Amino acid sequence: MSDKVEPESSASIQENSNLLCDEQIEQRLSSELFNERMPSVLEFHRKYLIDRQSTKFRTELDPEDVKLVNGLGQLSADKLMDYVKGLQTSAVSLGNEESLQFTRAKLLKVFEE
């Protein structure tokens, strides 16, 4: 296999010359090219920062919540992962139980008027 580049034939050069554009895009104002106002990432970021700063709020925690947060803060990474997995397992079983109860209510026509 040769790495040598063959020169283009005059026919292919002539075909490509039909595709050339004489317009000088560098000399046109961007407002002429893109006249629609498009939101930029910077504008989004500024709006996000303003929204984040204005929505600060305090939540009053119950003593039990404070105790739970402090207890979770004392756990090692492995113990914390076990706790989270336990929460996920509980959530799945609760979802299954809820689905079962909705199916039961549907069969008993509880929600029908």
Q: What pLDDT, on a 0 to 100 scale, did the predictor assign at position 73? A: 93
Question: Which domain does 83 fall in, by range?
Answer: 62-113
In a domain, 86, yes or no: yes
In a domain, 30, yes or no: no
User: Percentage of the chain surpassing pLDDT 70?
Assistant: 60
In a domain, 91, yes or no: yes
Q: What pLDDT, on a 0 to 100 scale, did the predictor assign at position 71? A: 94
In a domain, 27, yes or no: no
- Range of weakest confidence among 9-13, 43-47, 53-57, 109-113: 53-57
The number of angstroms, rounded, from the C-alpha of 80 to the middle of its chain's C-alpha atoms is 26
In a domain, 57, yes or no: no
pTM of the model: 0.43
**Pick from 98, 73, 97: which is nearest to 83 by CA?**
73
Average pLDDT over residues 8-16: 63
More confident residue, 52 or 40: 40
Give the number of domains in the chain: 1
Q: What pLDDT, on a 0 to 100 scale, did the predictor assign at position 25? A: 66
